[in-house]
Amino acid sequence: MALQSSKRARHYGLRFGVLPTGPLNMITDVPGVRVGQVTLNEEHDIHTGVTAILPHDGNQFQEKSPAAIYIGNGFGKLVGYTQIEELGTLETPIILTNTLSVPAAADALIDYTLTQPGNEKVRSVNPLVGETNDGFLNDICGRHISKEHVLNAIHQATTGYVEEGNVGAGTGTVCFGFKGGIGTSSRKLPPSLGEFTLGVLVQTNFGGVLRVAGLPVGIELGSYSFKENLDGSCMIIVITDAPLDARNLKRLAKRAFMGLAQTGGIGSNGSGDYAIAVST
C-alpha cells in the first residue's frame, strides 16, 4: 500500500534498535532532505517508477554535498560511481528507477542540472542513478520511464511524509519472495553524540530468508526467495546532517550492509547492492 494511513512496523509494536527515531521515522527527518516519486501502474504489465532524493533545497551542482558509495555486491548498473569515488562529492539529485531506465534517468538529470540558474557554463555533469530490476512484475523491456517522469519526480520532491511500499522505484520490486518496495526510517543521536539525525531510504528487490526483529519469519513460513532464484538487488540511501567527509561517509555506507544482513539479505551473486552516503 502507498497510503499515508497504512500502518508501519512500529504501529504493530515492533521495535528495532535502541536509538530514538526522528519525528516521522523517515529520511526527511534530516533537515532539508526532499523526496519525490512518480509511479506507473498502467494496463496489466507496466508497474515501475522513479524515486528522487534531493539532499538540500539549493543548487546541487553549485553546492555539492560530501558523498561516498560502498558496493556490497556489484551486479548492478549504477551510474556516477567513479567520479564520486574520486572526488567525494555529489553534484546532482539521486535518482532510483528500474535497470533499463537508467540511461533515461541520467539524461534527465543532465537536463535538470543544465537548466538550473547559475549553471549556464557547466560543461560536465555526473548524474547519480541507481536501479534494481523489476522485470518480474514490470514490462521492463518496454522502457516506459521517460525523462519527463524523472523530471516530475524531482520537481515534486518535498520534505515531510514519504510514501512507502508500491510507489516510485519500488512499484515493481520483489523482496524475500514477497512484495518489495520503497522503505525509509531515521534515527536521532543523543546530545552527547552531537544530536545529529541519520535517515535511510531503500529500494528493496533482494533475496534471502526474511527476519523481523531477529525472528526467522521466512523459515517459519517456509518461504525464502532462493528456493528458485538467487538474484536481487538493493539500493540504500543514507543521509545525515552530521558533518562527515567522504572518507567517513564511506565508513558509514559500509555499515548499511549490517542492517541489510539483519533483515536476512544474503548478497547473492546476481545482486546489485549499493549504499550511497551523503552529508548535508
Look up 271 and say whether it is catalytic: yes
Look up 185 and say whether it is catalytic: no
Q: How far is the CA of 250 from the CAs of 9, 55, 135, 238, in angstroms?
A: 29, 17, 30, 11
Catalytic residue among 101, 225, 268, 271: 271
- How many C-beta atoms surround the C-beta of residue 183 within 10 A? 20
Enumerate residues 6+ apart whose C-beta is below 8 A from 27: 33, 35, 53, 162, 184, 185, 186, 199, 200, 201, 237, 239
Look up 273 and say whether it is catalytic: yes
Sign (positive or negative) of CA dihedral 157, 28, 100, 126 = positive
SS3 81: helix
Catalytic residue among 29, 134, 241, 273: 273
Catalytic residue among 101, 186, 225, 233: 233
Enumerate residues 6+ apart whose C-beta is below 8 A from 180: 170, 173, 174, 203, 204, 205, 206
Catalytic residues: 233, 271, 273
